[in-house]
């Protein structure tokens, strides 16, 4: 698994918004064809799965005002990109970079 900063923010930078969001990417088999269902409660491709994980992730992102996008990464694994990441005014640059 890789976690890193996004290289660009297509929507520009508003006051208090990080110019780059972050991503989480794995080296697995990638995302299923029906990506629009990924964030729905109960959606799973695993017989033992609950379908709660990505729904919870989206809920957390939404609660913070972030946007989330799902796509396949360059290595073929799943990649989730978080944008519009806002940082509290009192956070240090080091703390902000450790999102």
Whether residue 80 is predicted with pLDDT greater than 60 in this model: the reply is: yes
- Residue 8 in contact with residue 21, Cβ under 8 Å? no
Domain at 2-87: CATH code: 3.30.565.10
Domain ranges of the chain: 2-87
The gap from C-alpha 40 to its chain's centroid, in whole angstroms, comes to: 15
9 pLDDT tier (thresholds 50, 70, 90): very low
Structure token digits, residue 70: 């799902």
Average confidence (pLDDT) over 1-27: 70
Instruction: Give the whole-angstrom CA distance, residue 29 versus residue 93.
Output: 35
Which bin fits 65, alpha (ψ -120 to 50), beta or left (φ > 0)?
left
């Amino acid at each position: 698994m890789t976690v890193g900063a996004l290289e660009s923010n297509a929507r520009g930078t508003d006051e208090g918004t990080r110019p780059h969001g972050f991503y989480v990417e794995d080296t697995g088999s990638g995302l299923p064809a029906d990506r629009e269902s990924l964030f729905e409660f109960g959606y799973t491709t695993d017989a033992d799965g609950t379908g709660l994980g990505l729904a919870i992730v989206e809920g957390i992102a939404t609660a913070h005002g972030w946007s989330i996008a799902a796509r396949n990464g360059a290595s073929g694994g799943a990649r989730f990109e978080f944008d519009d990441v806002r940082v509290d005014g009192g956070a240090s640059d080091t703390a902000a970079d450790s999102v």
